[in-house]
Amino acid sequence: DAGVTQSPTHLIKTRGQQVTLRCSPKSGHDTVSWYQQALGQGPQFIFQYYEEEERQRGNFPDRFSGHQFPNYSSELNVNALLLGDSALYLCASSFQSAANTDTQYFGPGTRLTVL
Amino acid sequence: TQLLEQSPQFLSIQEGENLTVYCNSSSVFSSLQWYRQEPGEGPVLLVTVVTGGEVKKLKRLTFQFGDARKDSSLHITAAQPGDTGLYLCAGARNYGQNFVFGPGTRLSVLP
């Protein structure tokens, strides 16, 4: 049983470019959340997808957008990249994450570097 | 300002020592979680606490949720090098809301 997988592992982009990161949730999970973790910091919540819709959103600009597919996999898109977007992007999956006691399973992350 | 503060920021101890790390906030949380994150990996959930004053034990790790549900502590007994990692606390203020993470405590246990 595969856990949460993310691709690519590492990515280097230049300012102004656009990037798409991908996440496949753990088998049986239907909810995907995305986090940004800057170096030396804790993860910051970007948004959560359930039933192919954005259910919650953190304090991130509209340059950050996402999508969830019928198979529950998800993409995170970032437009007009800034140097400050350099971070580890984490995907977490859970089952019907409306309950705060639900367990989130995190993927290994995608390390994005913006030059 | 951080919604959740963690202390200490860094901790380096010898194998076999005991330690406590703290997670504090001025806000009340409906639930709080502790995670451990190792280099190159995502965070792994250790425990969820939901009741004020609750104490949970996981082998050598003891977690406590403050009576007022504003703070929490993690105590490790007889630390081992395998305990090395970034310890993160995360709190949800209301039922159904996303979890907010603290900045973490980076623990290094030397053999």
Give the percent of chain B with pLDDT over 90: 85
Rounded distance between C-alpha atoms, residue A102 and residue A95, angstroms: 7
Quick one: how far is CA A65 from the chain centroid? 10
Digit-coded pLDDT (tens) for B26-49: 999 998 999 999 988 999 999 999
Structure-block tokens of residue A23: 């996440």
Mean pLDDT of A98-107: 72
Tell me whether residues A100 and B88 touch, CB distance under 8 A. no
pLDDT of residue A30: 92
pLDDT of residue A103: 79
Digit-coded pLDDT (tens) for A23-55: 999 998 999 999 999 998 999 999 999 999 999
Chain A hits for B97, Cβ within 8 Å: 56, 100
Digit-coded pLDDT (tens) for A71-80: 999 999 999 9
The tally of CA atoms less than 13 A away on the side-chain side of residue A58 is 18
Tell me whether residues A56 and B101 touch, CB distance under 8 A. no
Tell me whether residues A100 and B96 touch, CB distance under 8 A. yes
What burial letters (b/e) apply to B78-107, b meaning 16+ CB within 10 Å?
ebeeebbbbbbbbbbbeeebbbbbbbbbbb
Cα–Cα distances in Å, from B25 out to A68, B53, B72, B99? 33, 15, 9, 14
Q: Which residues of chain B have pLDDT under 70?
A: 1-2
Contact between A74 and A66 under an 8 Å Cβ cutoff? The reply is yes
